[in-house]
């Protein structure tokens, strides 16, 4: 039986209302809002094929939806269940429903998932490799890598950094993280030096953009790995950019997350590392793991990473412990059958 117009209005109106509430009342980031929208949209489409409105779905409807996910990763199912729970709690609080249909649905059990990370030697190889890239693009990527590793930034935090976030006199960076929360992370001299080198280049590029000039590219083999970017848009209107890493295409906007992912994959190949092992988040994991391996206390690492719950940070102690266990197993004589 087809839905009535009023049902369609209710379905399409309440999901945006829920997402707006997440941003207004809980300071959810734009990426978080987009993730909730995708997860709710996926459930809504499945139910729509069965002529059921997401707002009116019962427990059996939702269990059928989760069965349809089949062999989806447990974390994917857990995330979608979390999104649905919050949505139905919102509906109950707004008197659109009397009960939460997810209350008896158990989340899948999640095994301990250790974060991927790079060794100190591998990070050093990446920094040495990117230092050999000539030209402005090479310098920009080196500065971005230095900041990722020096401050453990999330990719969105890095690309949206304003110039004013770097405090040279205090040797730190001011970071606006998830939920619009601010934190302060100290910066070492290599990262500060790299930013100092970048700022005059950034200024030159911004001035060139205002004039509508093109972007020079290098013909060297190493520079070709960076894939030439298109020239800056002439439609920028001469606007200045607050961003430390403005987009070459739209100088009033930051470089995109996707572009940074591409550049890091290309850098991994140049450094003879598996590109699948390198991403901004992997560099963030390396930052935390290496700090703990060198004796940093968990609370300090939690603060620098911007974790709300220290349990999230504790996974890095497991990474360090597992690495130590492997070292003993591989190199201790008694671990190999005893001394001879």
Residues marked active site are found at: 154, 178, 281, 284, 307, 316
Q: At what angle do helices 135-151 and 189-211 cross, to 10 degrees?
A: 140
Least Cα distance to 44 among 97, 80, 86, 82 occurs for 80
Least Cα distance to 122 among 275, 304, 331 occurs for 275
d(CA 232, CA 206): 9
Task: Write out the DSSP string of 127-178.
Answer: HHHHTT--HHHHHHHHHHHHHHHHH---HHHHHT-BGGGEETTTTEEEEE-G
Sequence-ordered list of residues with C-beta below 8 angstroms from that of 339, at least 6 positions apart, any chain? 333
Q: Are 134 and 145 in contact (CB under 8 A)?
A: no
d(CA 55, CA 336): 60
d(CA 198, CA 68): 50
Three-state SS for 276?
Answer: helix
For 34-62, give one letter per residue: b (16+ CB within 10 A) or e: eebbebbebbbebbeeeebbbbbbeeebb
d(CA 13, CA 208): 46
Q: Which of the 8 DSSP states describes residue 254?
A: B
Q: Which of the 8 DSSP states describes residue 70?
A: T
d(CA 157, CA 139): 19
């Amino acid at each position: 039986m087809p839905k009535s117009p009023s049902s369609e209005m209710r379905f399409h109106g309440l999901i945006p209302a829920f997402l707006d509430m997440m941003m207004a009342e809980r300071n959810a980031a734009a990426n978080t809002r987009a993730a909730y929208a995708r997860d709710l949209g996926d459930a809504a489409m499945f139910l729509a094929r069965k002529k059921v409105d997401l707002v009116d779905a019962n427990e059996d409807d939702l269990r059928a939806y989760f069965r349809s996910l089949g062999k989806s990763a447990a974390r994917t199912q857990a995330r979608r269940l979390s999104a649905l729970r919050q949505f139905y709690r919102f509906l109950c609080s707004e008197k659109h429903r009397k009960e939460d249909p997810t209350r008896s649905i158990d989340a899948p059990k999640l095994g301990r998932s250790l974060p991927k990370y790079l060794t100190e030697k591998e990070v050093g190889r990446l920094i040495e490799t990117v230092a050999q890239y000539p030209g402005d693009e090479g310098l920009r990527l080196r500065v971005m890598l230095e900041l990722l590793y020096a401050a453990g930034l999330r990719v969105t935090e890095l690309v949206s950094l304003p110039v004013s976030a770097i405090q040279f006199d205090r040797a730190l960076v001011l970071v606006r993280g998830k939920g619009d929360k601010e934190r302060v992370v100290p910066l070492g001299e290599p990262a500060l030096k790299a930013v100092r080198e970048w700022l005059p280049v950034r200024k030159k590029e911004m001035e060139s953009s205002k004039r509508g000039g093109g972007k020079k590219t290098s013909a060297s083999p190493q520079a070709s790995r960076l894939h030439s970017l298109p020239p800056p848009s002439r439609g920028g209107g001469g606007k200045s950019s607050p961003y430390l890493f403005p987009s070459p295409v739209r100088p009033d906007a930051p470089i995109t997350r996707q572009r940074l992912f591409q550049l890091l994959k290309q850098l991994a190949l140049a450094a003879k590392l598996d590109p699948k092992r390198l991403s901004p988040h992997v560099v963030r994991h390396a930052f935390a793991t290496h700090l703990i391996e060198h004796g940093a206390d968990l609370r300090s690492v939690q603060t620098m990473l911007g974790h709300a719950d220290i349990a999230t940070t504790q996974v890095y102690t497991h990474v360090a412990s597992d690495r130590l266990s492997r070292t003993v197993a591989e190199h201790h004589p008694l671990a190999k059958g005893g001394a001879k």
